[in-house]
Amino acid sequence: MILRLSIALLPLFLTACTHNPAVGPSSVPAIFSQQVRNAHNAIDAGDGDYLLRALRERVAAGPENAAVRLELIQAYRDRGYPDIALEMARLAAARFPQNEAVQLALVHSLRDLNQQNEAILLLDAYLKTHPQASAGAFSWLGILYDESAQWPLGEPQHRKAVELSPATSYLHNNLGYNLLMQKKNAEAAGEFREALRLDPASQMARNNLGMALAGQNDTAAAVANWQSASDPATAHNNLAAVFIEKGNYPAARKELEIALGYNRLHPAALKNLELVSRLDGSAATIPLQDKDIPTRWERWRAGFIRLFVGPLDDSRGDPPKTASPQ
């Protein structure tokens, strides 16, 4: 399938946490029970982790050191403790209300626990009182709106981010994706092209540009765009995926037939053909060819060899058959 949602995200200071439930009376020997409780307490407090213990000690020794607090939040995130990270972020945000990195750490922690609305309210309030904030902060508010499907509210935030940092590829990609979701395909295509101009290697922007072009019914341009970074089979499979999402199953089948004509074993095309068959109730018919009839790719390859290498010496027998390039 075509690469879908492709918002370029900044590094997160997210984490996760577990809570050990209370335990009632037990017949386990008292000494062993005490050892278990001590072990649980050590895990809860991070005493069994040298880095966590060292970071907590540094925070205690330097409570005004915001960078160390961010490290501690990140450490809890890395170990899979989101609620502890959130509480650490809340404490840090209360102590450093003007620090953008700390406020974003709280936003990320809220987002990690699916508290999108609170994250939006918090970041929106911060940006209203800090208009000099970075492009990344405005981009994050746009992302939060996008993830809540509030596309029109996200658009001005993405535009502000691009205004503040016009030479950053992923910001153009994010704005383009927001516009794409609002079916503003022409504007979206412009943003994706700018993202590619700034970063020609961005596969996200390349895939999204193809979607925008297909949304304008410029299927030839969409295929050419995808094919510039892949192969013909993949390009036609990607267009088929767009048609599947639109519910245009006959057009999707046609594109999949073309894709499988280039490469009968293309895994994504085969999966999409199976998906179309489930969706429209028709049998999945793979355009298999006789083993002696070459695919389009094989014909092109043979022509290329004849043109630049010359005819093969038939006296040696037929060359071994190999799978088409993926």
For residue 101, the domain's CATH number is 1.25.40.10
Please give the pLDDT value at position 13: 26
Q: Is residue 163 domain-shared with residue 188, that is, in the same domain?
A: yes
Q: Is residue 60 domain-shared with residue 78, that is, in the same domain?
A: yes
Q: Is residue 146 domain-shared with residue 121, that is, in the same domain?
A: no
Q: Is residue 216 domain-shared with residue 259, that is, in the same domain?
A: no
Domain end (from 133, 151, 175): 133
Q: Is residue 251 domain-shared with residue 311, that is, in the same domain?
A: yes
Tell me the DSSP string of 2-52. -----PPPPPP-------PPP----SS-HHHHHHHHHHHHHHHHTTT-HHH
Q: Which domain holds residue 12?
A: 1-16+48-133
**112 exposed, middle or buried (CB, 10 Å; 0-12, 13-18, 19+)?**
buried
Q: What is the pTM of this model?
A: 0.72
Task: Evaluate whether residue 24 is within a structural domain.
Answer: no
Please give the pLDDT value at position 286: 72
Q: Is residue 258 domain-shared with residue 206, that is, in the same domain?
A: no
Please give the pLDDT value at position 171: 98
Domain end (from 179, 205, 229): 229
Alpha-carbon distances, residue 25 vs 31, 55, 83, 129, 215 (angstroms): 14, 35, 28, 53, 65
- Domain tally for the chain? 3
Instruction: Note the pLDDT tens digit of each residue in 288-322.
Output: 554 445 566 666 676 666 666 555 544 444 433 33
Q: Is residue 6 domain-shared with residue 113, that is, in the same domain?
A: yes
Task: Evaluate whether residue 33 is within a structural domain.
Answer: no
Alpha-carbon distances, residue 255 vs 5, 97, 214, 276 (angstroms): 22, 54, 13, 12
Task: Evaluate whether residue 318 is within a structural domain.
Answer: yes
Per residue, the 3-state secondary structure of 248-266, as one string, reads CHHHHHHHHHHHHHHCCCC
Task: Evaluate whether residue 34 is within a structural domain.
Answer: no
Please give the pLDDT value at position 317: 42
Task: Evaluate whether residue 23 is within a structural domain.
Answer: no
Alpha-carbon distances, residue 164 vs 4, 15, 129 (angstroms): 27, 29, 17
Weakly modelled stretches of the chain, pLDDT under 70? 1-48, 287-300, 302-326
Q: Is residue 99 domain-shared with residue 7, that is, in the same domain?
A: yes
